[in-house]
Structure 1
């Protein structure tokens, strides 16, 4: 696996830290939790957290330590992630088992625990925001009892100190723990106190200095087992034992790096399939790529068979871009016809992006059935937000590009006319949506205006997707025999990127 995420801090202090010792009750319990100070201590063979396929804890810990943005001056300010808003699937943990130190009375701005790492998108859909290297093993091991076991628990405390923007400062403490019986049903998840550890400032400062591969290796992750199981699933050559390979040479599936993704099409409103790293041996056996929606009530599906030539590329589809779309690769012929070989991550409605920064309110761009939509998160303590002088005259506009002038809006809506979306509420925030008729496109951006004038702009989202798309390939294919009617629309010549 060649992941180069999080190599160093790159100009920003990215640290998770315990700012103050716990002065609350439960100090005896606190002392019973072992603190890990180095990667070497994390590698202790008695610690199983995230160390074997399909467990994802070490991948998640590396992501959090290198992505969560904290500023360390005379206090620790959590900048870019708001657990109480549900970012990345964070959700409240009530510590009912008493595994972690007691926090006393829980309130909106009093100490709280938040759990991260439940990858069941049926119960925690915002976990789709996590990167594919954290979630991909879970999508390819749903029959394994360990596919969703690991959790990171973060204690958030706020006091009377504020940041430069006037927002309350978040102080944090981090724990890692396994979860037993997760997802069957979700509330049956039981944390293991004997396998719960605190992650120290020293360790969380050390992790970002390592690439993901280096961190996994030093922390004791068994990459051999993972890659061997992936190679077996893909049906390609692999080392027969540790240190050896088939025929005395490196196997084709040495550290397989298959990527199947749903991406935004340059043609507004539609989904593309993007893939890379598929072993040629796998393709030569005959496979079919499928795009389907995993959202409730949607039966949309698109199939296309693949020949043995294209190990990477992109493909146009007739499906509208939407949350829950997922690409899978399956055997096309033979006794294993229809058996899934690989699955990519489910597409996230926000394209993996967070809302704009803001304590009382924040703006989020998302997609629904191919249309550009906007969500406004309002902190519940901001109860008079609809009043004149607050957001009573505020509005949100959508633009084709971040370079568009303010007057070039495509569509807009008064904030007070946004529709309440209780399904995206959290304990601390209410969610309000605006579903526009504008097709989503690569550089779409939403902007928030406090008053009627264009000069009153206060926030804007990041562009939807400005990454360069890979070159397209022309596929001369036929639908698989077991597709049925489906939505297969036959082979179609695809233009080169330079022609778009």
Structure 2
């Protein structure tokens, strides 16, 4: 018995030593002292912003997740320490402590990058040859019994086994609250001058309220001049500036991308390039849905000097594909949309290009210049499954080949789900305003097909899906009726 106690104490000391190696960051300004997500094209700070928008922090300082990492929402994956980083890795936990880790951020996985919003992934798509475009991860430690409750949040960088430095840091609840506070607009100058504090925001909540006027002017320049034409969300721009992101270098990349004139080279002035480097609208090209299940290309914020080159949007089957699906001219419009006859499917990738006939390297023909790569289309439109009230199950609408489909997630512990859902069916509707009895198409849950091996019951969730004969459209909601 004494030996067992001694071994248990030794295990606790080992865990404590591992935790001590990981520094906790308590304030946004603490992010300045690390390299996590601080320069183009790294996306770590953007991941941190995304996470802050998808958690609620309760009074016990636990994080209530607005998603289920076990279900792999948004591309979350089970995380284990790499074998070569034991010295600085996350602490190992005995199964009896009911903890496990899940990570998000590996954009090299299509399942991850297609589910995250464009502001997180845009630099990944547009920096193909940069080795730093996929280094950052966020990690949450959750309860095995309640995986939507996390008690720890970590950020880390993937450098491989040759990097012997500690790249992992814990993020405190206070820091995440500060990131959340940036979502609320506040007139800082008037607030500081009048000393009239908003009762819902305190100095400890909003890091902007702790700035001096000189510091505020510096950050305001970063937010308005350098980042406004790159990131649409104001709170994203504030986070990057306050965390020490290299905004000037990112602005230089922006200018190079769009052939923007600079203050120095005279040739730019002679060419009289009209630019939107100071514009309020970042460039967007995206794939949406027509009412009939085909791909609709949309664009906005295209610089005038690029418009003068008669650009087109070319659509590929994926971000790595070289097989062209279709192309559409922008018709010299800085914003607009065009419907195609390409069936809507997962992974479609739009690219903004210009082309000309000419010769080069012994080849005569069309020469393309790619200016911008938009986000890939996600079959579920980045919407995670909806919980079915009263059951350990959830339902997700997605599309395949332009048709409306439904995916049913059944928790493995819900063993009698077939009995419970024996008389249940899924209805497809043309509009979310349609009454329940006016469905366009339906299917019994018992006719859904299982995804994966028939005898594979080891996963936390079993997945069943169905493809209807109804075309997907901007409004094709589905619902599960249980009788």
The Cα of 1:143 is off from its aligned counterpart by 1.1
CA contact (8 A) 1:50 1:56 kept: yes
What TM-score does the superposition give when structure 2 sets the normalisation length? 0.76
Distance 1:26 1:246, change over 3 A: farther
CA contact (8 A) 2:275 2:305 kept: no
Q: Max radius of gyration: which structure?
A: 2
1:383 lines up with 2:383 in the alignment: no
Match of 1:316 in 2: 339
Higher helix share: 2
Matches within 5 A, 1:22-421: 26-44=15-33, 47-65=34-52, 67-70=53-56, 72-74=58-60, 76=62, 78-97=64-83, 98=86, 99-106=88-95, 110-120=98-108, 123-158=109-144, 170-180=149-159, 194-210=166-182, 211-239=235-263, 252-254=276-278, 257-265=282-290, 267-294=291-318, 299=323, 301-307=325-331, 309-333=332-356, 337-357=367-387, 360-386=392-418, 388=419, 390-421=420-451
Separation in structure 1 between the aligned mates of residue 81 and residue 95 of structure 2, nearest angstrom: 11
Distance 1:315 1:168, change over 3 A: closer
Distance 1:85 1:180, change over 3 A: same
Match of 2:213 in 1: none
Aligned length: 403
Separation in structure 2 between the aligned mates of residue 24 and residue 129 of structure 1, nearest angstrom: 40
CA contact (8 A) 1:85 1:426 kept: no
Separation in structure 2 between the aligned mates of residue 133 and residue 385 of structure 1, nearest angstrom: 39
CA contact (8 A) 1:361 1:377 kept: yes
CA contact (8 A) 2:104 2:112 kept: no
Match of 2:195 in 1: none
Match of 2:7 in 1: none
Separation in structure 2 between the aligned mates of residue 106 and residue 344 of structure 1, nearest angstrom: 43
For 1:137, what is the secondary structure of its paired residue?
helix
Separation in structure 1 between the aligned mates of residue 274 and residue 329 of structure 2, nearest angstrom: 28
CA contact (8 A) 1:103 1:111 kept: no
CA contact (8 A) 1:178 1:192 kept: no
For 2:129, what is the secondary structure of its paired residue?
coil
What TM-score does the superposition give when structure 1 sets the normalisation length? 0.73
CA contact (8 A) 2:38 2:246 kept: yes
The Cα of 1:71 is off from its aligned counterpart by 5.3
Distance 1:197 1:71, change over 3 A: closer
For 2:240, what is the secondary structure of its paired residue?
helix
Separation in structure 1 between the aligned mates of residue 457 and residue 104 of structure 2, nearest angstrom: 17
